[in-house]
């Protein structure tokens, strides 16, 4: 029987499930699920169980279609240590030091690998890129969604760091004393380059509230206030990515997540800002591009990591 692995991508507003064999998507499932809102409405005792039950429900639904599932990879937002413990999720204060990997493994009765969502998306993006460039070893990934996640694939594996908090680029402080962040600090990149950050910038500039898709369309139509909001995003993201290249000396950068679908609104400015803040000697060595934008990087990366690390 072919070994199949389930990848689960826990986003800010959606849950995505996908079952893969070596290189094919066998079955998938997606539901709207506002994790922040649901956890905010639950107690600190109820929230962990709520998460486990939601993920288990999707697993059992796909298990009926694909009984050959051998393991599960879960891409989850937050700081995750090497033992599969969710130490903190900045936008989910009810989930602190929660052994999510163990809880899921006990519930599902199959091996489970818990990974930071941006690391999983970075790995999924890396696998897709490597199919076209067999020599690719390192890749920086920035995911722009409800928050801003980061991943660094080094020598073909995600770099987690000692405490599971490596590449949390969304919490680099880019505006000292700026907007309050869910992590407890002020002025984090996440507050300026995420979907919510874009909404906040547009509100400050125009005095009007609008969702990211509307702001993107306004920018495409030439609205200067919407374009300025995207300019703020590009300025701070470009600066952060430039600093990463100084530390990691990595030539490939990909930008994914839902907001990357508005690449035409900020991509050129982001390229300019990256070049502005980079070391001049390295300016021609880095390739910055949007990810493939098919929403499968997270589930594909989570499933692939489960295959690679649970059954090496």
Q: What is the pLDDT of residues 207-222, one digit of tens each?
A: 999 999 999 999 999 9
Q: Do domains 4-120+296-310 and 135-290 have the same CATH topology?
A: yes
Q: What is the mean pLDDT of each run of 10 residues along the chain (312 residues)?
A: 88 89 89 85 89 95 94 93 88 87 96 95 92 92 93 93 87 96 93 97 97 97 98 98 94 94 97 94 89 80 93 80
C-alpha to C-alpha distance for 177 and 297, rounded to whole angstroms: 34
Domain 135-290, CATH among 3.30.420.40, 3.20.20.70, 3.30.1490.20, 3.40.50.300: 3.30.420.40
C-alpha to C-alpha distance for 236 and 307, rounded to whole angstroms: 36
Whole-number pLDDT of residue 238 = 97
Query: Tens of pLDDT along 80-95?
Result: 998 999 998 877 778 8
Whole-number pLDDT of residue 188 = 97
Task: Please report the sign of the dihedral spanned by the C-alpha atoms of residue 169, residue 253, residue 124, residue 59.
Answer: positive
Whole-number pLDDT of residue 293 = 59
Segment (H or E) for 11? none
Cβ neighbors of 247 (< 8 A, separation 6 or more) are: none
pTM exceeds 0.95:
no
DSSP 165-205: -TT-GGGSBSSTT-SB-TTS-BSBTHHHHSHHHHHHHHHHH
Using alpha carbons only, give the angle 180, 184, 88 rounded to the nearest 5 degrees. Answer: 130
Task: Please report the sign of the dihedral spanned by the C-alpha atoms of residue 258, residue 264, residue 269, residue 275.
Answer: positive
Whole-number pLDDT of residue 294 = 61
CATH number of the 4-120+296-310 domain: 3.30.420.40
C-alpha to C-alpha distance for 80 and 126, rounded to whole angstroms: 21
Whole-number pLDDT of residue 131 = 86
Indicate the domain borders of the chain. 4-120+296-310, 135-290
């Amino acid at each position: 029987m072919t070994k199949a692995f389930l990848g689960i991508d826990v986003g800010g507003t959606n849950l995505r499930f996908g079952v893969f064999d070596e290189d094919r998507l066998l079955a998938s499932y997606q539901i709207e699920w506002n994790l922040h809102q649901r956890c905010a409405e639950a107690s600190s005792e109820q929230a962990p169980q709520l998460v486990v039950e939601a993920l288990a429900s999707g697993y059992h639904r796909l298990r009926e279609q694909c009984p050959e599932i051998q393991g599960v990879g879960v891409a989850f937002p937050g700081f995750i240590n090497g033992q599969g413990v969710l130490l903190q999720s900045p936008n989910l204060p009810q989930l602190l030091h929660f052994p999510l990997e163990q809880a899921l493994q006990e519930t599902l009765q199959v091996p489970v690998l818990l990974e930071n969502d941006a690391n999983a998306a970075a790995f999924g993006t890396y696998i897709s890129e490597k199919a076209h460039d067999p020599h690719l070893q390192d890749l920086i990934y920035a995911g722009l969604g409800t928050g801003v996640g980061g991943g660094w694939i080094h020598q073909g594996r995600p770099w987690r760091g000692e405490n599971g908090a490596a590449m949390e680029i969304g919490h680099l402080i880019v505006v000292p004393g700026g907007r309050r962040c869910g992590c407890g600090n002020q002025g984090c990149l996440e507050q300026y380059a995420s979907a919510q950050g874009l909404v906040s910038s547009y509100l400050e500039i125009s005095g009007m509230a609008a969702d990211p898709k509307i702001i993107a369309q306004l920018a495409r139509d030439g609205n200067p206030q919407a374009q300025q909001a995207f300019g703020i995003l590009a300025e701070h993201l470009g600066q952060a990515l430039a600093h990463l290249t100084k530390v990691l000396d990595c030539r490939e950068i990909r930008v994914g997540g839902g907001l990357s679908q508005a690449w035409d609104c900020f991509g050129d400015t982001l390229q300019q800002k990256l070049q502005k803040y980079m070391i001049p000697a390295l300016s021609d060595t880095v390739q910055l591009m949007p990810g493939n934008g098919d929403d499968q990087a997270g589930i594909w990366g989570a499933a692939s990591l489960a295959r690679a690390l649970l059954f090496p």
